[in-house]
Amino acid sequence: MSEALNFTSLIVALPSNGRLYDNPKLAKGEIELRYGTTHDEDIITNQQYIARGIVFDKLIESLIIDKEININDLVMGDMNALLLSSRRAMYGDKYNVKITCPNCKNSDAVVIDLKSVEYFECGDEIVGNSFEITTDFGNVFKYHLLTYTEEKDLEEQQKRLKKLKISKDEQNITLRLKSCINAINDTTNKGEIIRMIEQGIPSIESLQIRNHMLNNMPDIDTSIEHICKECGFSIDTKFGIDIDFFWPAGRTTRD
């Protein structure tokens, strides 16, 4: 009789603690994944998936044990936590990156310890994905944090604008506000909200809204503090959750 390899699963705690979701499966604040296999490496290297921007979707859908959970319902920070845990389970805690000094242009090899990555978590006071802020101008804005599918839709809008030679950076703030704001004062009609945003929100008010969102947004902390080995310049940067996070740059190299 042939024997099968034994694998254990891992429980991934979500930065949101499940507080943003009505779905009881997500409200538990944790998701069970199986350990990745060579089959999952095939997913990571699938050029069609990479070109279509769905390689992470396919990977997590493959690893997640409860197939009734829809990853598109997750907020981006929780999705990042699943990707982080998947990367650690598949290739270990060492992640090799190169950091280029903006002062002297020297490039240092840096090893990030992924097990030390911390969470920005939702507090106990948060119940549901609905938030409200009254700005210094006295306007009341209600918004929600974008889900993974909404983030992907936003990225597609940005790609279309790029083809029209409209700067992504110039449109990013406006597009995000139009996607996540649900009410302005007594106005709840989405078309009217979009019109109001397109007319322009004062920059200082927009900043207050975005800071409020950031303070409530669960995520993993990808920040890196590094001192340039060549000139001693202090560098504050972040590592990206992209295809190189898994393959091939994420593989452990010889010391």
**Chain segment 56-77, per-residue pLDDT in tens:** 999 999 999 999 999 999 999 9
Rounded CA separation 245/251 (Å): 9
Q: What is the predicted pLDDT for the residue at 2?
A: 43
Task: Say yes or no: 145 and 101 in one domain.
Answer: no
Task: Say yes or no: 224 and 193 in one domain.
Answer: no
Residues 6+ apart with CB under 8 A from 162: 168
pLDDT in tens, 1-17: 345 445 678 999 999 99
Domain that holds residue 205: 131-217
Tokens of 234: 């202090």
Rounded CA separation 39/93 (Å): 21
- Peptide linkage before 248 cis (omega within 30 of 0): yes
231 part of a folded domain: yes
Q: What is the predicted pLDDT for the residue at 1?
A: 39
Task: Say yes or no: 112 and 233 in one domain.
Answer: yes
Percent of the chain with pLDDT over 90: 80
Task: Say yes or no: 110 and 27 in one domain.
Answer: yes
Task: Say yes or no: 104 and 226 in one domain.
Answer: yes
2 part of a folded domain: no
126 part of a folded domain: no
152 part of a folded domain: yes
Q: Are 86 and 71 in contact (CB under 8 A)?
A: no
209 part of a folded domain: yes
Longest dimension (CA), the chain: 74
pLDDT in tens, 145-200: 999 999 999 888 887 777 766 555 557 889 999 999 999 999 999 999 999 999 98
Q: Are 239 and 97 in contact (CB under 8 A)?
A: yes
Q: What is the predicted pLDDT for the residue at 159?
A: 79
Task: Say yes or no: 26 and 110 in one domain.
Answer: yes
CA 22 to chain centre: 20
The domain tally of the chain equals 2
pLDDT in tens, 136-151: 999 999 999 999 999 9
3 part of a folded domain: no
Rounded CA separation 166/170 (Å): 8
Task: Say yes or no: 240 and 163 in one domain.
Answer: no
Q: What is the predicted pLDDT for the residue at 8?
A: 79
26 part of a folded domain: yes
